[in-house]
Amino acid sequence: MNTKELFKESLEDVSPEIKAELDLSFAIADKIGRILTERGLSQKEFARKMKKTEAEVSRWLTGRHNFTIRTIARISVALDVQLLEM
Amino acid sequence: MEKKDVKLEFIDKSEKAALYTICFKGNDTSEFADFMLKYKNNADLKQDYRYIVYALSKILENGALERYFRPEGKINDNLSALPIEHGKLRLYCLRISDQILILGNGGVKRTKKYNEDEELSGYVISLQKFDEILKGEIMKGSITIEHTSIDGIDDKYFRL
């Protein structure tokens, strides 16, 4: 089996739960990333605004961070956007 | 480190990004295939592995954006890692651009720094050496990169 076939096979083994989790975390990260870019806000400036470290903000934007409801709410307020559609 | 010949192997592409890996001469499998074979059925790590694999599919979908990766290695190299937050398994790669990602091998990070681990540092050093070679070949014009395609690599081996 070649590399591509192994990769496809591995993707088939990913559970719906992991897919749903990462679809959400990437969607949130990408929305934050897009907003920061549109507003010309650096990660450093955003971290300062959120009173967080740059390292923590960097983790938020990887697409693999497990956000808490509280963090999503605080980011939504700080950026004045709905991170999650309700 | 013993000199080895390595070639670049195409894996998959989308409109936004392409995945490649490296394959050592004489090996049946590429470095990324080796990583997949090690962990896809590993009882302790297969869940972590599946997070990494699905994250790669998201990267293919969205592009290999810089913020998706953890920078590793030196300031001027393209070495990056794809870790997961809740585990120690990581995949090393070369993030060439938002459109091109070259996957290496990976493993469990048991030490504070990868260069304290013989297995992981081996994977990292191979990628760093290949990164240097790739830059040189691009400067010479023998390899070109256009959006999601790397040209001039077919059946070509490079000496690390």
Asked if A30 and A63 touch (Cβ cutoff 8 Å), the reply is yes
Q: B56 vs A7: CB contact, 8 Å cut-off? A: yes
Name the domain count of chain B: 1
Architecture of domain A20-79: Orthogonal Bundle (1.10)
Q: Which domain holds residue B93?
A: 5-148
Amino acid in position B56: L
Across chain B, what does the average pLDDT equal?
93
pLDDT tens column, B130-158: 999 999 999 999 999 999 999 999 989 99
Over 90: is that where the pLDDT of B57 sits? yes
Backbone angles phi, psi at B88, to 5 degrees: -105, -5
Helix (H, G, I), strand (E, B) or coil at A46: helix
Q: B50 vs A14: CB contact, 8 Å cut-off? A: yes
Q: For the CA atoms of chain B, what is the radius of gyration?
A: 15
B158 in a structural domain: no
B155 in a structural domain: no
Interface ipTM: 0.93
A6 touches chain B (CB under 8 A): yes
B45 in a structural domain: yes
Over 90: is that where the pLDDT of A53 sits? yes
B133 membership: H or E segment, kind and range: helix B118-140
Amino acid in position B57: S
B115 touches chain A (CB under 8 A): no
Residues in chain B with CB shorter than 8 Å from the CB of A7 are 11-12, 19, 32, 36, 53, 56
pLDDT tens column, B5-45: 999 999 999 999 999 999 999 999 999 999 999 999 999 99
User: Band of the pLDDT at B3, cuts 50, 70, 90?
Assistant: low
User: Which two structure tokens, joined as six digits, stand for B140?
Assistant: 């010479």
Asked if B19 and B35 touch (Cβ cutoff 8 Å), the reply is no
Q: Which residues contact B74 (CB under 8 A, 6 or more apart)?
A: B128
User: Which two structure tokens, joined as six digits, stand for A7?
Assistant: 């990769």
- Measure A8 CA to nearest chain B CA, in Å: 9
Amino acid in position B40: K
- Closest by CA to B89, choosing from B57, B56, B118, B50, is B50
Tell me which of A38-52, A59-73, B78-92 is least confident.
Answer: B78-92
List own/partner pairs for A10-19 with CB under 8 A and 24 or more apart.
A10/B36, A10/B40, A10/B49, A10/B50, A10/B53, A11/B53, A11/B54, A11/B57, A13/B40, A13/B46, A13/B50, A13/B53, A14/B50, A14/B53, A14/B54, A15/B50, A18/B47, A18/B50, A18/B51, A18/B54, A19/B54
CA atoms within 13 A on the CB side of B33: 19
CA atoms within 13 A on the CB side of A28: 24
| Residue A57 confidence (pLDDT) | 96
Q: What is the mean pLDDT of residues B69-78?
A: 88
B153 in a structural domain: no
- Measure B46 CA to nearest chain A CA, in Å: 10
B50 in a structural domain: yes
Q: A10 vs B53: CB contact, 8 Å cut-off? A: yes
